[in-house]
Amino acid sequence: MARNVFRRLLSLGRGREKNKSFSTCTSPAGTVKLSRDLAVNLNMIRDTLGNSMDVVVRELLVCRTRVALVYINGLINETALRENVMRALMIDMHNVEPSPGSGSKDLADSVKEKVLSIADVKKIGDFRTVLDGILGAGIVLFFNGEDTGLILKLPGFETRSVEEPHTETVVRGSREGFVEALSVNISMLRRRIKSPDLRLERMQVGGVTQTDICVAYIKGIVNTKLVDEVKKRLQRIDIDGVLESGYLEEFIEDAPFSIFQTVGNTERPDKVAAKLLEGRVAIFTDGTPIVLTVPYLYIESFQVSEDYYSRYIPGSLLRMIRLLCVIITAELPALYVAITAYNPEVLPSPLLISMASSREGVPFPAIGEILVMGVFFQILREAGVRLPRPVGLTVSLVGALVVGEAVVSAGLVSAPAVIIIALAGICSFVVPPQSDTNLLLSLFFTILAGFAGFFGLFLGFVLVLAHMASLRSFGAPYLSPAAPLSPGDLKDTFIRAPWWVMTGRPRVTGWKNTRRAGVVSSPSPPRNEEKKPAHRYKVDE
| Per-residue confidence in pLDDT tens, the chain, 541 aa | 545 544 544 444 444 444 444 433 333 444 688 888 888 888 888 888 877 888 888 888 776 778 888 888 888 777 777 777 777 777 766 666 554 444 444 677 777 777 777 777 888 888 888 888 888 888 888 888 878 888 888 787 777 888 888 888 888 888 888 998 888 899 999 999 988 889 999 988 988 888 889 999 998 888 889 999 999 999 999 888 889 898 999 999 998 899 999 999 999 999 999 999 888 999 999 989 999 999 999 988 888 888 888 888 888 898 899 999 999 999 999 998 998 888 888 888 887 787 777 777 777 788 888 888 888 888 877 777 777 766 666 666 666 666 777 777 777 778 888 888 888 888 888 888 888 898 899 999 999 998 888 898 999 999 999 999 999 999 889 998 888 887 777 888 888 888 877 877 887 776 666 777 655 556 777 766 555 555 555 545 4
> How much of the chain is helix, strand and coil, in % rounded to 5?
50, 15, 40
Q: What's this model's pTM, rounded to 2 decimal places?
A: 0.81
Please tell me whether residue 67 adopts helix, strand or coil conformation.
strand
Kindly write down the DSSP assignment for every residue of 500-539, as one continuous string: TT--B--TTT--S--B-S-GGGS--PPP--S--PPP-PPP
Instruction: Using CB atoms within 10 Å of the CB of residue 167, give its burial: 0 to 12 exposed, 13 to 18 middle, 19+ buried.
Output: middle
The pairing of beta strand 121-124 with beta strand 55-62: unpaired
Residues in the chain: 541
CA 195, CA 202: separation in Å to the nearest integer? 18
CA angle 234, 293, 436 (to 5 degrees): 105
Instruction: Using CB atoms within 10 Å of the CB of residue 147, give its burial: 0 to 12 exposed, 13 to 18 middle, 19+ buried.
Output: middle
Side-chain-facing half-sphere of 65: CA atoms under 13 Å: 24
Tell me the domain boundaries of the chain. Answer: 2-17+27-153, 182-308, 312-470
Please tell me whether residue 477 adopts helix, strand or coil conformation.
strand
Please tell me whether residue 207 adopts helix, strand or coil conformation.
coil
Please give the DSSP secondary-structure letter assigned to residue 417.
Answer: H
Integer CA distances (angstroms), 46 to 11, 75, 138, 155, in order = 18, 18, 17, 22
CA angle 468, 278, 220 (to 5 degrees): 125
Please give the DSSP secondary-structure letter assigned to residue 25.
Answer: S
What are the start-end ranges of the H helices in 342-365?
349-358
Strand (E) or helix (H) holding 437: helix 435-470
Strands (DSSP E) contained in 190-348 are 198-205, 211-218, 264-266, 281-285, 291-294
Backbone angles phi, psi at 194, to 5 degrees: -90, 55
What pLDDT does 529 receive?
56
**121, 149 in Cβ contact below 8 A?**
no
What pLDDT does 289 receive?
92
**149, 142 in Cβ contact below 8 A?**
yes
Integer CA distances (angstroms), 379 to 293, 317, 337, 372, 386, in order = 31, 32, 22, 11, 11
Please tell me whether residue 219 adopts helix, strand or coil conformation.
coil
Q: Which residue, 80, 83, 192, is CA-closest to 138?
A: 80
CA 292, CA 251: separation in Å to the nearest integer? 12
What pLDDT does 364 receive?
78
Kindly write down the DSSP assignment for every residue of 189-203, as one continuous string: HHHH---TTEEEEEE
Kindly write down the DSSP assignment for every residue of 138-197, as one continuous string: EEEEEETT-S-EEEEE-B----PPP---TTS--SSS------S-HHHHHHHHHHH---TT
CA 340, CA 458: separation in Å to the nearest integer? 16
